[in-house]
Amino acid sequence: MDKAYSPQEIETRWYDTWEKNGNFVPSGKGDPYCIMIPPPNVTGTLHMGHAFQDTIMDALTRYHRMLGMNTLWQPGTDHAGIATQMVVERQLNAQGLSRQDLGREAFVDKVWEWKEESGDTISRQLRRMGSSVDWKRERFTMDAGLSAAVQEVFIRLFKEGLIYRGKRLVNWDPVLHTALSDLEVLSQEEDGHLWHLRYPIEGSDQTLTVATTRPETMLGDTAVAVHPADERYLHLVGKQVRLPLCDRLIPIVADDYVDPEFGSGCVKITPAHDVNDYEIGKRHDLEIINILTDDAAINDAAPAAYRGMDRFDARKKVVEDLDQLGLLERVDEHKLMVPRGDRSGSVVEPYLTDQWYVKVEPLAKEAIAAVETGKIRFVPENWSKTYYDWMHNIQDWCISRQLWWGHRIPAWYDEQGNIYVGSSEESIRAEHKLGGDISLRQDEDVLDTWFSSALWPFSTLGWPEQTDALKTWYPTSVLVTGFDIIFFWVARMIMMGLKFMGDVPFREVYIHGLIRDQDGQKMSKSKGNVLDPLDLIDGIDLDSLVAKRAAGLMQPHMAPKIEKATRRQFPDGIPAYGTDALRFTFAALATTGRDIRFDMGRIEGYRNFCNKLWNAARYVLMNTEDYDCGAQGKIELSLPDRWIRARLGQTIEEARKGFAGYRLDLAAQSIYEFTWHQFCDWYLELSKPILQSESTTDALRRGTRQTLIQVLEASLRLMHPIMPFITEEIWQRVAPLAGKTGASVMLQDYPCSEDFPDDADARAHMEWVMQFVLGIRQVRGEMDIPPNRQLPLLLQDASELDRQLWDSHGAYLQSLARLESVDFLEDDAEAPASATALLGNMKLLVPMAGLIDVAAERARLEKQVQRSEADLDKCERKLSDKRFVSNAPAEVVEKERQRTEMLRQELRHLAERLEKLAGISG
RNA sequence: AGGCGCGUAGCUCAGUGGUAGAGCACUACCUUGACAUGGUAGGGGUCGCCAGUUCAAUCCUGGCCGCGCCUACCA
């Protein structure tokens, strides 16, 4: 093995081998386990959120595969309607073309081209992350099978009356010219104004004052509303006002909706351009006057003066004109929530159009019950509350989009406007016996992207065909996703799954946090703080990183600022950390909290961990290859052998518990702690004297060699789900020595704690050994005695057990603590001036002659006295409290007593040593 | 407005009704035959604040402060 760990070389090699060997394909044996990848945008690229999510899914997949389950991780991509169409449109715009110039068919062809061109970026990146998905089953939401599923679902829902076409207010994006679902609209608080307008009361010289944040909509007002109990206005209800600028008479109505406390207590009602007003309009049978075009310009329903003006220009003009007429009472500064399209960023207008809707309430009912009855479990549990809140208030889902890229709605109209829904024009003609004389035209719209995503858990498995895959893996095991798409996706999959499969689409939903930058900022292109997971894996030099972050900014003036921040944070660019280090970092950060700050310090630490593992393996191989590891002769296990095996068993338990409870962070932590601080720091060091000393028996040597190789081999399996590449690379060398055969570690069994049972004696005795060594090291460290300086050591007040332990384990202790000589002193013998460490009652005395600074030793002991006294004080206070003694459990009290005794003894010893020192210096 | 989450070492985060932890950063010493991407030792925290429950609270309860997020039709 090379001296240094170099991830690139390893990682590129193994993935191809795995894929070629079909290692990602479900085994066909064991209980089914299945994860559906949340399909990324087909033309997108992998960002940190994906990389994080993919790490979790791959770790779970590999873990369950190693448990012997019939494991499928289903890959695929989403056509991402609006997003993809926008990208291609922008490309066209750059050539001075619009999609209308091309026409629908040519444009859609163009999008397919773009999809082919860029569509495998994501899969390449997934491969680089080590994702063990079954590529043979890769699906795309617009491929033939999934499109058929979409059509089938649409038709069935329509026939059941759960899909209908309706004219109502939708969220209209005037830039994209399409309707949006409520979820695709993001409301943000923005600074605006509240205009107070006066409307003259007909038959009176009085006016009514109404307040509005969108004065231009007054052109479409068809009433003014007041609260029915508002005495100020009660006498006016039933009368009319003369709408300024339009010169129309509109009624004054009373409606509970009005809050008499707000503004003037009078509300102008524009049923065509406000959802509340729309409802009021329905209640009072008001006229609905739409004053906007598709572009949100003023249309011909408005007075001529405003026609053709953009809505914001019209706003200015309306206000000016009202002011001129003396009808503008005042203008207040006002913060308001402005709804914007999540893709275009333009202000969305409530707009009256014909759209297709899914009637969700009946579907939602079942979906709520599925979570309430525990058929689906959210992890962490509290997300179910978010889910309920939304599901209980769910509105019908607008599924039609005025786009070209997507699943065309399978509905046809005849000239009378009758609607026919079916899989094709032919089938409709046949079904409804429509002759050739009747012309049909298909609905121009496509379906919301999330409509097809909602079918993902069964459409990818072949539905509506009753395939084996469907029978095997539906319901899937777990959905791994971010909280941001609980409503968009999770809830809708649950509804559709229950409806069409008669069962939940997944048994658990693991909701993970969002990856943020080191300052807690959301990573975004415009902030220039994006990290590309591949740059963390393969590294990137500073100039390339700066160029990447500054490229294609919406606001180019931010570039210098971004460059400066980037140069400050990464003065040397980003080194290549490798996939395993990145994955381990994600695993370690995968805590239950909501967001995750990505800390470069962590990935560096875990890269070092990989290097540590690499070198530990080198050491193990160096000492096992070409040696007898127990195959030929008798073996005997030393104390460290027994101890490390027991510790491994514990670690296996912890890792399994971590995976089972979606606590990859705890699994990673246990693995890290074990590998570095038990296996490397202690066990490998202890193995050296055993293997090197001439006095060890061959049986012991064989025992240690066998333990080295077996523990390493099992550890590799233990961490493989998180770090697939490095473990595979090492395992290939290690496995044969451990008596394991197999083509890949990924197809091995996950380690069992039964193979490494607990050994309480070994743990207790090792504790003694470790405390012994730590005591000496502490003296050495605090006295600044160089590590290579061999120390003489005297032992006093040793118990029978101490002597026994020394006899058995002294040899490697001597080496580990770097002792030159060790001698027992009689309990009553006069010890020379020494630095002292305590091990229970036994004193470890390092004679001071020429070694130790008396003042330093005194300072060291005094520090210990201080600590122990503080502890003792706490203990004594507790024990002297009668309530504690009588109320606390007996074992807690007893423990406290023992601790007190121990501390007292320690303090006596320390005092003794200090006295001795006083004798010397005095 | 409602809901949720967070506040623990300088930073990023675990954790527990009974002795507060890790990584990074910091200090000192050390290139010892796996590893300087390393080793050894060390410093550093009234666990956001205030009450309550308890023999005992960083942990449970309530309130407050600060931060973040989600949902919502106040013109």
Q: Give the 3-state DSSP-derived string for A868-908, with helices as H, strands as E and coil as C.
A: HHHHHHHHHHHHHCHHHHHHCCHHHHHHHHHHHHHHHHHHH
Q: Which residue has the higher pLDDT, A104 or A245?
A: A104
CA dist., res. A97 & res. A452, Å (int): 30
From the CA of A782 to the C1' of B40: give the distance in Å.
10
Closest nucleotide over all strands to A902 (CA to C1'): B19
Per the structure, the residue whose CA is closest to nucleotide B73 at C1' is: A276
CA dist., res. A471 & res. A488, Å (int): 26
The answer for A827, left when phi > 0, alpha when psi is -120 to 50, beta otherwise, is alpha
Closest nucleotide over all strands to A616 (CA to C1'): B34
Average pLDDT over residues A794-799: 92
pLDDT band at A593 (very low <50, low <70, confident <90, very high): low
Closest nucleotide over all strands to A881 (CA to C1'): B55
Closest nucleotide over all strands to A269 (CA to C1'): B75
For A67-122, write each residue's pLDDT tens digit. Answer: 999 999 999 999 998 888 988 988 888 899 888 898 999 999 999 999 988 878 89
Nearest partner of A73 among A510, A460, A502, A503, judged by Cα? A460
Rounded mean pLDDT of chain A?
90
Per the structure, the residue whose CA is closest to nucleotide B22 at C1' is: A669
A743 half-sphere exposure, CB direction, 13 A CA radius: 9
What stretch of H or E contains A307?
none
CA dist., res. A44 & res. A76, Å (int): 12
From the CA of A875 to the C1' of B48: give the distance in Å.
28
Per the structure, the residue whose CA is closest to nucleotide B32 at C1' is: A788
What pLDDT is stored for residue A815 in this prediction? 86
Whether the per-residue pLDDT at A849 is higher than 80: the answer is no
pLDDT band at A921 (very low <50, low <70, confident <90, very high): low
For A703-731, write each residue's pLDDT tens digit. Answer: 999 999 999 999 999 999 999 999 999 99
Instruction: Give CA torsion, residues A355, A360, A363, A367, to 10 deg.
Output: 130
From the CA of A783 to the C1' of B42: give the distance in Å.
11
**Number of residues in chain A:** 922
Q: Angle formed by the axes of helices A639-660 and A48-66, to 10°?
A: 120
In order of A328, A625, A745, A917, the CA distances from A735 in angstroms are 85, 11, 9, 56
User: Which residues is A336 bridged to in the sheet?
Assistant: A190
Closest nucleotide over all strands to A666 (CA to C1'): B14
Q: What are the tokens at A629?
A: 């590891």
CA dist., res. A357 & res. A447, Å (int): 10
Nucleotides of B under 7 A from a protein CB: 3-6, 11-15, 18-19, 22-25, 28-32, 34-43, 54-56, 68-75
Q: What are the tokens at A892?
A: 């807690």
Count Cβ neighbours within 10 Å for each residue of A562-583 and write b for 16 or more, e otherwise.
bbeebeeebeebbbbbbbbbbb
From the CA of A160 to the C1' of B74: give the distance in Å.
37
From the CA of A269 to the C1' of B51: give the distance in Å.
51
Please check whether residue A479 is in contact with residue A506, taking contact to mean a CB–CB distance below 8 angstroms.
yes
- Considering Cα of A39, then A40, then A42, then A46, what sign does the dihedral take? negative
Count Cβ neighbours within 10 Å for each residue of A534-545 and write b for 16 or more, e otherwise.
bbbbbbbeeeeb
Q: What are the tokens at A201?
A: 């009361």
Closest nucleotide over all strands to A673 (CA to C1'): B22
From the CA of A645 to the C1' of B35: give the distance in Å.
22
From the CA of A792 to the C1' of B50: give the distance in Å.
57
CA dist., res. A308 & res. A37, Å (int): 47
For A663-687, write each residue's pLDDT tens digit. Answer: 999 999 999 999 999 999 999 999 9
pLDDT band at A565 (very low <50, low <70, confident <90, very high): confident
Closest nucleotide over all strands to A257 (CA to C1'): B74
pLDDT band at A554 (very low <50, low <70, confident <90, very high): confident
CA dist., res. A517 & res. A5, Å (int): 27
**β-strands A207-212, A223-226: how paired?**
unpaired
pLDDT band at A634 (very low <50, low <70, confident <90, very high): confident
From the CA of A280 to the C1' of B75: give the distance in Å.
13
For A141-157, write each residue's pLDDT tens digit. Answer: 999 999 999 999 999 99
User: Which residues is A377 bridged to in the sheet?
Assistant: A508
From the CA of A336 to the C1' of B72: give the distance in Å.
13
- Strand, helix or coil at A480? strand
Closest nucleotide over all strands to A773 (CA to C1'): B40
Nearest partner of A186 among A199, A164, A201, A171, judged by Cα? A171
Closest nucleotide over all strands to A892 (CA to C1'): B18
- Strand, helix or coil at A380? coil
Nearest partner of A305 among A202, A240, A222, A216, judged by Cα? A216
Tell me if the bond preceding A380 is cis, omega within 30° of 0: yes
For A467-504, write each residue's pLDDT tens digit. Answer: 999 999 999 999 999 888 888 899 999 999 999 999 99
**ipTM score for this prediction:** 0.94
From the CA of A772 to the C1' of B19: give the distance in Å.
20
Closest nucleotide over all strands to A617 (CA to C1'): B34
Count Cβ neighbours within 10 Å for each residue of A168-188 and write b for 16 or more, e otherwise.
bbbbbbbbbebbbbebbeeee
DSSP A610-639: HHHHHHHHHHHHHHHTTS-SSSSS-----H
CA dist., res. A391 & res. A369, Å (int): 11
Q: Which residue has the tokens 């599925």?
A: A370
Please check whether residue A624 is in contact with residue A737, taking contact to mean a CB–CB distance below 8 angstroms.
yes
From the CA of A54 to the C1' of B13: give the distance in Å.
21
A376 half-sphere exposure, CB direction, 13 A CA radius: 31
From the CA of A866 to the C1' of B48: give the distance in Å.
30
Q: Which residue has the higher pLDDT, A187 or A614?
A: A614
DSSP A662-720: T-HHHHHHHHHIIIIIIIIIIIIHHHHHHHH-TTS-HHHHHHHHHHHHHHHHHHHHHHT
Per the structure, the residue whose CA is closest to nucleotide B70 at C1' is: A386
Tell me if the bond preceding A736 is cis, omega within 30° of 0: no
Nearest partner of A406 among A104, A814, A128, A646, judged by Cα? A104
- Distance between terminal CA atoms of chain A? 59
Closest nucleotide over all strands to A227 (CA to C1'): B75
Average pLDDT over residues A360-374: 92
Average pLDDT over residues A809-829: 88
From the CA of A304 to the C1' of B28: give the distance in Å.
85
CA dist., res. A304 & res. A291, Å (int): 11
Average pLDDT over residues A801-822: 89
User: Which residues is A210 bridged to in the sheet?
Assistant: A197
Whether the per-residue pLDDT at A629 is higher than 90: the answer is no
From the CA of A385 to the C1' of B3: give the distance in Å.
9
Percent of chain A at pLDDT > 70 equals: 99
From the CA of A787 to the C1' of B30: give the distance in Å.
6
Whether the per-residue pLDDT at A860 is higher than 90: the answer is no
From the CA of A53 to the C1' of B3: give the distance in Å.
26
From the CA of A806 to the C1' of B56: give the distance in Å.
40
Please check whether residue A526 is in contact with residue A558, taking contact to mean a CB–CB distance below 8 angstroms.
yes
Nearest partner of A39 among A179, A138, A162, A175, judged by Cα? A138
Burial of A643 (0-12, 13-18, 19+ CB in 10 A): buried
Per the structure, the residue whose CA is closest to nucleotide B69 at C1' is: A594
DSSP A20-57: HTTTTS--S-SSEEEEE--PPBTT----HHHHHHHHHH
Closest nucleotide over all strands to A778 (CA to C1'): B41
DSSP A819-887: EEEEEEPPTTSPPPSEEEEEETTEEEEEE-TTT--HHHHHHHHHHHHHHHHHHHHHHHHHHH-HHHHHH
Which amino acid appears at position A608 of this protein? N
Closest nucleotide over all strands to A608 (CA to C1'): B37
Residue A459: count other Cβ atoms within 10 Å of its Cβ.
27
Count Cβ neighbours within 10 Å for each residue of A687-721 and write b for 16 or more, e otherwise.
bebbbeeeebeeebbbbbbbbbbbbbbbbbbbbbb
Per the structure, the residue whose CA is closest to nucleotide B18 at C1' is: A892
Whether the per-residue pLDDT at A922 is higher than 50: the answer is no
Residue A882: count other Cβ atoms within 10 Å of its Cβ.
8
Nearest partner of A383 among A247, A523, A509, A562, judged by Cα? A509
Q: What are the tokens at A558?
A: 């931010």
Average pLDDT over residues A908-920: 83
Per the structure, the residue whose CA is closest to nucleotide B25 at C1' is: A601
Burial of A757 (0-12, 13-18, 19+ CB in 10 A): exposed
Tell me if the bond preceding A475 is cis, omega within 30° of 0: yes
Per the structure, the residue whose CA is closest to nucleotide B15 at C1' is: A666
Nearest partner of A832 among A817, A818, A843, judged by Cα? A843
Whether the per-residue pLDDT at A630 is higher than 80: the answer is no
Q: What are the tokens at A135?
A: 């590529």
